[in-house]
Amino acid sequence: MKAWPEMKLQIFQSLNASPSDFVEFWSRQWTDHDSEADSNYYNRHIDKPLTDARLQGLFRWKNQMPLSKGKKNTLKRIIARREELVSLSPKTLPSDFLDRFREGKAIWWIFLLHCWSHGHGSKKYPIYDQHVHRAMSFVSNGEPEESGHWNDKKKVDAYLNRYVEFFDRFNPIEPKKVDQALMVFGRFIKAYRF
């Protein structure tokens, strides 16, 4: 009779964690969809002044896959307004910014706010999408709320009135690690119907 190797069967258990333990565990699971070069691009360029090339690269990084024709056209419209973007006062309110820059869908408006705030050195406004929203709602109330089919107004309201404050609760942990942890956790909740 053939001897089978020992099986390593496991059951995973949910444990309460501190914010730093949560971020450390979930951010280690992060992988870029395209390549390591994309992650390095974000790290090298996010805190620098916004140029046409930098905006193109950051939006390609955000998309995590080649841009569709529609998204390429949206990106062209964003770049055409770059001078207006970089001349804005760092004191511009996020609601005013998001009312002014509405190229594409709300998630891109919010990513542009993120890039712009980092370019001014404030780093106030985190990245937002359906995965981090799902993670926020699960962490906050135990239920994964889905925002993927919401209209732009509802997404912007959730970002400004809930997510920014939620994200700030992880301070002083490095924001990029928090973003990665929430993204991975949000995907995990959806994939495994946790």
pLDDT score for 37: 46
Distances 136 to 35, 62, 92, 158, 168 between C-alpha atoms, Å: 27, 19, 26, 11, 12
DSSP 2: P
* Alpha carbons 169 and 69: distance in angstroms, whole number: 38
pLDDT score for 77: 97
Task: Count CA atoms closer than 13 A to 46's CA, side-chain side.
Answer: 25
* Alpha carbons 119 and 146: distance in angstroms, whole number: 30
Distances 41 to 49, 64, 69, 71 between C-alpha atoms, Å: 14, 12, 22, 19
pLDDT score for 124: 83
pLDDT score for 122: 75
Q: Is 127 in a helix, a strand, or coil? A: coil
**pLDDT tens for the chain, residues 1 to 194:** 677 888 888 888 889 999 999 999 999 998 765 444 466 788 888 988 999 999 999 999 888 888 999 999 999 999 999 999 999 999 999 999 999 999 999 999 999 999 999 887 777 899 999 999 999 999 999 998 999 899 999 999 999 999 999 999 999 999 989 999 999 999 999 998 76
Rg (CA), the chain: 19
pLDDT score for 183: 94
pLDDT score for 41: 82
Q: What residues have CB less than 8 Å from 67, skipping those under 6 apart?
A: 59, 60, 75
